[in-house]
Amino acid sequence: MSAATADVSRSALVNGPAVHPERLAEALGLLPVGLHVVTAFAEGKPAGLLCGWVTQASWTPPLIAIAVGRGKHTHQAISDSGAYAVNLLREEQTDIARVFGAKSGRDANKFAGLDWRQGRTGSPLLEGTAGYLDCRVTQRHEIGDHSLFVGEIVQAASFAQQCLVYQREVHQSLFVE
């Protein structure tokens, strides 16, 4: 492909017609994600949300990136504390996933009935999960309607060999009331 052709196809990708919303939703619904409860501790209270957009970003130093909607209650707690923990749910912990994914901490105490303790950064670590990554925020980037928080892992543990993996197109019923 010549340089000119490459430029044309790149510009078609950038300036082409908007992606059809249904095609977009179907394709994104195929993306497998782990379901994790991302927590933070601020103003003397725990906060947490269900987070699928979590990825390792570096080995040395060990970095994890999470994308959190700027309107979320937990976004404020991460911003205030400068830290967060990624709690990796076990395959069978779908009830916890529903609680943390369906309600906002502004309206409900999502930690009621759960055992948790504060990790090294102060972020809540849920008992009984498959593992956790306790992180201190090192960078923040504003991306679309989310903030990408990059965190250095300061403490980590795993207690199981599998965690809860989700594909919206496959697990349609998981978050239906």
Ligand X SMILES: Cc1cc2nc3c(=O)[nH]c(=O)nc-3n(C[C@H](O)[C@H](O)[C@H](O)COP(=O)(O)O)c2cc1C
Sign, CA torsion 51/56/62/64: negative
Q: Is 74 in the site for ligand X (CB under 6 A)?
A: yes
What is the rounded CA–CA span in Å between residue 53 and residue 33? 7
For the beta carbon of residue 141, count every other beta carbon within 10 angstroms: 11
**Binding test (CB under 6 A) with ligand X, winner from 39, 41, 42, 51:** 51
Q: Nearer Cβ to ligand X, position 49 or 135?
A: 49
Sign, CA torsion 118/123/126/132: negative
Q: CA of 76: how far to CAs of 12, 15, 106, in Å? A: 38, 35, 11
Q: Is 49 in the site for ligand X (CB under 6 A)?
A: yes
Q: Is 151 in the site for ligand X (CB under 6 A)?
A: no
Q: Is 114 in the site for ligand X (CB under 6 A)?
A: no
Q: Is 57 in the site for ligand X (CB under 6 A)?
A: no
Q: Nearer Cβ to ligand X, position 50 or 163?
A: 50
Q: Return residues touching ligand X (CB under 6 A).
A: 35, 49-53, 67-69, 72-74, 100-105, 166, 175
